[in-house]
Amino acid sequence: MADVVGTTGKLRQLILVWDMPVRVFHWLLVICFAGAWLTSESERLAMIHYAFGYTACLLVLIRLIWGLIGSRYARFSQFLKSPRVVLTHFTDMLKGHRHHDVGHNPAGGLVMVALMLLILLIGFTGYLTMKEFLGDFVSEIHEAVASLALGLVILHIFAAIAMSVIEKQNLAKAMLTGKKMGLPEQAIRYPQYFIGTTLLVAAAYFFYLVVSGALPSLTQ
């Protein structure tokens, strides 16, 4: 329902912004990161820990590809900006200025990419730790990077809450429904249900393969 007037004088309304692959990736990554963190200290749940961690890495790799070929707001070219633009956005946000970025804002996009890279590093150091490569040294790096990623996740959550208040729209709900406030011409045309469903099934199947021990090279 249109209820906000944009800077062009046109009515802003709920439009489709996030395709299904982006939404599936986001929420599966949340589950995998939380699951890996909660099982990290239990030897009994080691296989589940591995499954969550490796599945998170698989999701990131797929998201990197989708960031090149996906729909409009899924692409890195849409939200990865220069350091000056990111700094300006951070400054404006701290001043409480309202922005109406339809996709990721420059700051949010930077945090998202940094978090994805950290998750890949966590997965790589976790694999080396499992293989007992360089002993405790790699294990300590694995834990340190995981803690850094957790800090970034917490920052992301607080930023999402703050931006929801500033922009007067629920960003978490938007990532569930795929819809945000914008102009009709800013909407994406195709929700990509087939690709999103395929991603969901593939991630679940990969998780099963790891946790069942069907991929021993990753867990032994």
Is residue 100 predicted with pLDDT exceeding 70? no
| Residue 193, domain member (yes or no) | no
CA distance 20 to 175: 9
- Which has more confidence, 79 or 198? 198
| Residue 118, domain member (yes or no) | yes
| Residue 195, domain member (yes or no) | no
Task: Supply φ then ψ for residue 133, to 5 degrees.
Answer: -85, 125
How much is the pTM?
0.89
| Residue 194, domain member (yes or no) | no
- Which has more confidence, 100 or 69? 69
Cβ atoms of 66 and 21 within 8 Å: the answer is yes
Instruction: Return the CATH number at 107.
Output: 1.20.950.20
Q: Report the Cα–Cα distance between both ends of the chain, in Å, rounded.
A: 54
| Residue 196, domain member (yes or no) | no
pLDDT (0 to 100) of residue 95: 67
DSSP E strand stretches across 147-208: 179-182
| Residue 190, domain member (yes or no) | no
Split into its structural domains, the chain has a count of 1
Sign of torsion over alpha carbons 9, 10, 14, 18: negative
CA distance 54 to 64: 15
Average pLDDT value for the chain = 90
Is residue 1 predicted with pLDDT exceeding 50? no
CA distance 58 to 65: 11
Per-residue model confidence as pLDDT tens digits over 51-78? 999 999 999 999 999 999 999 999 998 8
Q: Which domain holds residue 135?
A: 4-185+201-219
